[in-house]
């Protein structure tokens, strides 16, 4: 077994790869959940130690990421879940603090790979975050032939149905796609629909697997 950053590359059949599909947050773009909670703490006057343990991905979170509810509805649900109160703009400002910057060395490798295999991006996201990365990271994201947003497709990772849908939009059979994500459950969902998958837990493992792919595909 040969591992790169925890990824067993012997399990990847390079000859089958006709397209690459990347997760966004945590793989090609940095994310900062602590900034979200810190803003909400300042705005509500409640220490993060009180409400952060109550945080979980509940129904309204998933519905917002599939276009089934508004941000106001999400904020109301979070207010009840976390037990904190603030105006809608503070909920929004904190929520949008999640989105960070493009990860330079990862994007350098993605650009090189995109010269030999078409590259796409698939993110569980929402209109608020898209307004941030869609403008702030527009130039970097142009390397992808298309960025698929769950709030637009109406389907969310890790559901296998979501990956089948994205493969159809890519016009690629699932078996010809290699998917990379920092969430193991999402990788398992991709594999369930027939894609190959690589769980890249951090920047180091992402860079390692992309360097290996460049050599293996060339």
Q: 3-31+101-217 domain in CATH 1.10.760.10? A: no
Q: Are 152 and 175 in contact (CB under 8 A)?
A: no
CB neighbours (10 Å) of residue 205?
Answer: 20
CB neighbours (10 Å) of residue 123?
Answer: 24
Determine the Cα–Cα distance for residues 32 and 108; give it in Å rounded to an integer.
22
Task: Specify the pairing of strand 7-8 against strand 3-4.
Answer: antiparallel
What stretches in the chain show pLDDT beneath 70? 1-6
* CATH 3.40.50.1000 boundaries in the chain: 3-31+101-217
The pTM assigned to this predicted structure is 0.95
Q: What was the pLDDT predicted at 1? A: 45
Q: Are 148 and 181 in contact (CB under 8 A)?
A: no
CB neighbours (10 Å) of residue 22?
Answer: 25
Helix, strand, coil percentages in the chain from 3-state DSSP, rounded to 5: 55, 15, 30
Q: What was the pLDDT predicted at 218? A: 74
* CATH 1.10.150.240 boundaries in the chain: 33-96
Q: What was the pLDDT predicted at 37? A: 98
Q: Are 207 and 109 in contact (CB under 8 A)?
A: yes
Class of domain 33-96: mainly alpha
Q: What was the pLDDT predicted at 69? A: 97
Task: Specify the pairing of strand 19-22 against strand 119-123.
Answer: parallel
């Amino acid at each position: 077994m040969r591992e790169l950053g925890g990824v067993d590359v012997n399990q990847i059949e390079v000859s089958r790869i006709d397209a690459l599909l990347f997760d966004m947050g945590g793989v090609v773009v940095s994310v900062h959940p602590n900034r979200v909670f810190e803003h909400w703490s300042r705005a509500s006057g409640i220490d993060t130690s009180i409400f952060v343990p109550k945080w979980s991905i509940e129904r309204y979170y998933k519905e917002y990421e599939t276009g089934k509810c508004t941000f106001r509805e999400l904020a109301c649900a979070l207010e009840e879940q976390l037990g904190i109160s603030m105006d809608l703009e503070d909920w929004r400002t904190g929520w949008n603090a999640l989105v960070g910057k493009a990860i330079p060395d990862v994007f350098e490798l993605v650009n090189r790979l995109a010269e030999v295999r078409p590259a796409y991006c698939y993110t569980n996201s929402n209109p608020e975050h898209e307004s941030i990365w869609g403008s702030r990271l527009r130039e970097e994201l142009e390397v992808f032939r298309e960025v698929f947003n769950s709030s637009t497709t109406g389907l969310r990772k890790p559901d296998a149905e979501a990956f089948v849908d994205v493969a159809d939009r890519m016009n690629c059979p699932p078996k010809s796609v290699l998917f990379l994500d920092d969430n193991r459950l999402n990788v398992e969902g991709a594999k369930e629909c027939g894609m190959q998958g690589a769980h890249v837990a951090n920047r180091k493992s992402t860079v390692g697997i992309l360097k290996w792919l460049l050599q293996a595909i060339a």
